[in-house]
Structure 1
Amino acid sequence: MAGIIGKKIGMTSVFSVEGKNIPCTVIEAGPCVVTQVKTKEKEGYDALQLAYGEKKEKRATKAEFGHFKKAGTTPKRQVVEFKDTYQDEFQLGEVVTVDIFQEMDYVDVVGVSKGKGFQGVVKRYNFRGVNDQTHGQHNRLRAPGSIGASSWPSRVFKGMRMAGRTGNDNVTIENLMVMKVIPEKNLLVVKGSVPGAKGSYLIIRKQWN
C-alpha cells in the first residue's frame, strides 16, 4: 500500500540509541476504508480510494451516502486516491491500518499549513526592515521599500514579494523517518514536524526503495 490518511495529534520526543532527544510528531494513521478500486479498463488508470474520519449521515449528500454504502461503510470526512499502489492486494470495503508501515521506513507527509491571515513582508518573507529611525525615517521599520523599477517598464513585476495572505497552503514534508508504530492505538510517530495544527488531516505516503 502506498499510503494512508491520518490526523495530527501533537508533538513529543523520543530518545535514540545514542541518547539524543529527537523531536517527533504523533499521527493517528487510519483505520481507512477502501471505498473504490479504480482500474485502467474502467476509469483509465489504476488507483485505490481511501476514506477516513467519521461523518454524520445527515451531513452527507445522497451521492456520498450511496458511494460509501457500496463499500459497506458509513460516511467519511476525508477521501483520498493513491495511484502508486497495488490494487490486487485490497478489495472494496477492506480496512487499511497503520500496519502497512514499519520502523525505519521513510514517508512523505502532506498537509495544510496553519493560516496566518494577511501579513506584512517582515513576517511573510523575513524582510529585515529599516531597523533604525535615522536619516529622517519615521514609522518605516517594517515597510517593504521600493517595489517598482524606473520609468521603464513603469509597472510592478509579477511575483514581487509584498504583503498578502500567508499560510493555509498545501505543504509536503519529505523523507521523514518512522520512529515508532503503535498498531493497537493506530499511532505513527515520525521524526520531525509536519504541517498543520493539531487535529488537522494528513496524507502519509510511503516511499519505495
Structure 2
Amino acid sequence: MSGILGKKIGMTSIFTPEGESVACTVIEAGPCVVTQVKSIEVDGYEAVQLAFGEKKEKNTAKPLLGHFKKANTTPKRKLVEFKDFVVKVSLGDTIQVGDVCEAGEFVDVVGTSKGKGFQGVVKRHGFSGVGAGTHGQHNRQRHPGSIGACSFPARVFKGLRMAGRTGGNRVTVQNLRVLRVIPEKNLVLISGSVPGAKNSIVIIDNHREII
C-alpha cells in the first residue's frame, strides 16, 4: 500500500471516452517530502512519514524544525505515516502524485468532514419532526418528540439519536476510482465526492500490491 497527501481543490465534471459526464473531485496531491523512514530495529515497525504543505518557520516548534532540517526540507503543515509503503524511498526524497496513483486505480480517501455545529434531530439524523400543525401542534414541527419510557426503565438509553454537534469528523470513503492524473500540475481527479471543505488536507491511500 502506498499513499500521498493532498489539498482538496473542489469539484468538477469530465467526459469519459464513452461520452459519459462523470462528477469528480480535484485534489492537488503532493509533492510530499519523506521526513522519516521507520524500521523494526529502531522503531519497532516499518513506516514512511510524509510531509505536505508549507508552514511558516515562526509557527513551527523547535523540535519539529530539527526534524525537518534532518530531512533537508522546509517546515511542513501536515505529517502522516504510511505502513507497507510500496515505493522504495530514503530520507529527504520527494514523492510525486505519479509515483503512487494511476488512472483506473481504486483508492481510499480520508478527510475531515465539514463542521456544522450544534444541530437538531431533523438535520443531524433525518427525522421528519413531530408532524402537522393541527390539534394544538403549533411549535413542534422540528422537535424530536418523546425520548424515553415511563416508570420503567425511567431513564434514557445511551446512544439515543438526539440533537448535538455535527460534522468535523474523520471520514474515510473507500474504493473511489482515479479518473485522471495530471503530473505536471500535481493534480489527481477522483470519481465522486470527497469529505472535507475546499483547501482542506486529505489522505489518499491506494492498494497497489508489491510486484
Superposition CA RMSD, Å: 1.1
Q: Give the distance between the partners of 1:34 and 1:51, measured in 2 at CA.
A: 7
Q: Secondary structure at the match of 2:74?
A: coil
Q: Percent identity?
A: 63
| TM-score (norm: length of structure 1) | 0.97
Paired residues, number: 208
Divergent runs of 4+, >3 A: none
Q: Distance in 2 between matches of 1:208 and 1:150?
A: 56
| Paired letter, 2:23 | P
Residue 183 of structure 2 corresponds to which residue in structure 1?
Answer: 183
In structure 2, the residue matched to 1:71 is 71
Secondary structure at 2:124's aligned position in 1?
helix
Q: 1:52 Cα shift?
A: 0.3
Q: Quick one: distance in 1 between partners of 2:132 and 2:113?
A: 33
SS in structure 1 at match of 2:179: strand
Alpha-carbon distance between aligned partners in 1 of 2:18 and 2:75, rounded to the nearest angstrom: 46
Between the aligned partners of 1:130 and 1:58, the Cα distance in structure 2 is 54
Mapping for residues 133-144 of structure 1, pairs under 5 Å: 133-144=133-144
Match of residue 47 from structure 2: 47
CA contact (8 A) 2:86 2:208 kept: no
Q: Are 2:89 and 1:90 equivalent residues in the alignment?
A: yes
Per the TM alignment, residue 131 of structure 1 is displaced from its structure 2 partner at its CA by 3.1
Shift of 1:18: 2.3
1:123-174 CA deviation, whole Å, 9 max, x = no partner?
0000011331122212000000111122111111110100000000000011
Query: Offset of 1:8 from its aligned partner?
Result: 0.1
Matches within 5 A, 1:91-110: 91-99=90-98, 100-110=100-110
After superposing the two structures, state which structure 1 stretch, 36-45 or 17-26, moved more: 17-26
Q: Which runs of 5+ in 1 are unaligned?
A: none
Determine helix, strand or coil for the equivalent of 2:42.
coil
Query: 1:84 and 1:142 mapped to 2: Cα distance?
Result: 49
Residue 202 of structure 1 aligns to a residue in which SS?
strand
Could you state the TM-score of these two structures normalised by the residue count of structure 2?
0.96
Alignment of 1:157-172 (within 5 A): 157-172=157-172
Gaps of 5+ in 2: none
